[in-house]
Amino acid sequence: MKVSLFTFQFMGFSEGFLFDNYNFENYSLEHFLSVGISVMIGFIILLLVKRLETDRSKRLLGFSLGLFVLAAQIAKSVIRYQQNTFSLGEDLPLHLCNILPFFIPFALYFKNRQLWAVLYYWIMAGTIQSLFTPTLVHSYPNYEWWRYWIVHTGLVMLALYGPFIFGMKARWSDVLKSLFCLMILAFFIFCLNHLLGTNYMYMQGKPPGKTMYDLLGPYPWYILSLHFVALALFSLLTLPFYLKR
């Protein structure tokens, strides 16, 4: 029986897709290429969406892109469950970047400026730093590599969808609202961590590897420091909207 070269390549990709390789290294060539290519794809998508003529088409496409990001996030839990490697402490979508895909499709479909503003601050302040200090451990072509970059760069693209496609603007009043909502979410996750014995949103300890958390002091003081960092970042993220005016 003849087996084509494509079949061998596909079989190899399939095995690599499901195989945990632990080969990813921060600030490696793979890291920089992953960020660069992902950002470029997101930029091209925004340019193409900008050319659409009707508001309905833009809303539907934004909703569809949001669902694609959400599907990538959910796929991780499904694959882990199918492999019998699902971990209650790692695979529930309870980190901030994993929670956001559940809300962003609806913020764009309904063009809800207030919901978009909250998500905009959370994404731009939290997700962008995940691109430069990733907690990713598996390299290409593992499914976690795909999920990580689709979710994180996809969220940034969708956050920019608001101002670039719909002309939405963040306001100074949104800063405190977003910070207050973040505190409520963090408190909920903190309580859930105690019940489950988990560390979602890194409320019980710092993430592994070198991240910005290392600059914020030891546990639990870095949690307090994060509030001031968030306030400063949210304020900086508001400035472009007023400078443009």
pLDDT value of position 38: 94
210: confidence class by pLDDT, cuts 50, 70, 90: low
Sign of torsion, CA 104 105 108 109?
negative
Q: Which pTM does this prediction carry?
A: 0.88
Q: Once rounded to an integer, what is the mean pLDDT over residues 178-202?
A: 92
pLDDT value of position 244: 60
pLDDT value of position 245: 57
The domain spans of the chain are 18-244
Above 80 in pLDDT, residue 3? no
User: What is the chain's mean pLDDT, rounded?
Assistant: 87
Q: What is the pLDDT of residues 6-49, one digit of tens each?
A: 443 444 455 688 888 888 998 999 999 999 999 999 999 999 99
Q: What are the C-alpha distances in Å from 175 to residues 9, 29, 31, 221?
A: 49, 36, 31, 22
145 Cβ neighbours under 8 A, 6+ residues apart: 24, 34, 136, 138, 139
